Amino acid sequence: MQIPKYILPLHLGPNLVSEPCAMTLQEIETLRKKYYNATVSQIIECDEGLWRIRIKPDGPMQAFHPGQYTTIGLGTWEPRHPKAQPEPPNPANEGKLLRRAYSMSHPMLDDETHHLIAPEKVDYYEFYITLVLQGDDPKKPPAFTPRLFSTQEGDRISFGPKITGHYTLESVDLAKTPTLFFFATGTGEAPHNAMIWHLLSKGYCGQIVSAVTTRHKTEQAYRSVHETLIQKFPNYHYIPIATRDGGPKVYIQDLITQGVLEKDYPVKIDPQTAHVFLCGNPAMITGDKGVVKVLEGRGFTVYGVKNPQGQIHFESYW
């Protein structure tokens, strides 16, 4: 019997309509079984187009260094968010798996007890992802997140195959580093969450400062978690910044140049005693007025293979 062409349903509400897929249901299911090796176990919708998404692999959990990343993937046959920039039909992409790399975030606190979550209770990987509806190039619409944001809990997905990356704490001698700064824009805080959980879980006694800037307060998805952490750990300090909510427009660079950090917190921005981790918008990190240039003016250098003594570590998100 001829299997009819299949229109995949979207899970975003009764008023949304999916586009027809040129493949049959049997073909799609075959590809899903071939490529998908994990399940979307939980979606925490933080704001419109902003998710904390938890993915549970079919096999055992892989150990990883906080700050590392992996890929998650979905097939081109999956439906896309109806508000996304239209994607022209492309028969050459039919049946392909789309993969995108994301830093792994961390829940930090147990959802029930609100204490630091024990490693054995985390049977999933958490990611912090923004929906991209429009691309910079009209000929290249965003392909992955419009599909990801059409998934629901219980759906299958591709994970891995490996976890990697050098943006970790491994290069820092924590015993000789009394201060750690984590500066991020938006979802760039994802790897920092994993690092902060690791530090607090291991009893790191130095000062930890985490500053996160977003456009609006509602986009600070982990804010309540951080606010709980600062109540539990006197050496942890959290600075949320919203640049478009009507208050003074302050950026992470201003915390340094205006002396806010050293005035309001028990820390020194000193290359002899501190390491700085930067993740997110390249303008914040390496722009003409970015944090790297500000810190270099204070004697810091960028960590790298040729400079393993560097105190600035960064990961740009595009």
Report the predicted TM-score, pTM, of the whole model to 2 decimal places: 0.92
The pLDDT assigned to 139 comes to 84
Residue 1 has pLDDT above 70, yes or no: no
Q: Which CATH number fits domain 174-316: 2.20.25.240, 3.40.50.80, 3.20.20.70, 3.40.50.170?
A: 3.40.50.80
* Mean pLDDT, the chain, integer: 92
Residues 6 or more apart whose CB falls under 8 angstroms from that of 194 comprise 66, 67, 103, 104, 105, 106
- pLDDT (tens digit per residue) in 294-312: 999 999 999 999 999 999 9
Domain boundary assignment for the chain:
25-159, 174-316
Cα–Cα distance measured from residue 119 to residue 117, given in angstroms and rounded to the nearest whole number: 6
Cα–Cα distance measured from residue 32 to residue 140, given in angstroms and rounded to the nearest whole number: 25
Q: Identify which of 197, 189, 196, 240 has the alpha carbon closest to the alpha carbon of residue 218.
A: 240
- pLDDT (tens digit per residue) in 181-194: 999 999 999 999 99
Q: Which CATH number fits domain 25-159: 1.10.3720.10, 2.40.30.10, 3.30.1600.10, 2.70.98.40?
A: 2.40.30.10
Cα–Cα distance measured from residue 106 to residue 194, given in angstroms and rounded to the nearest whole number: 5
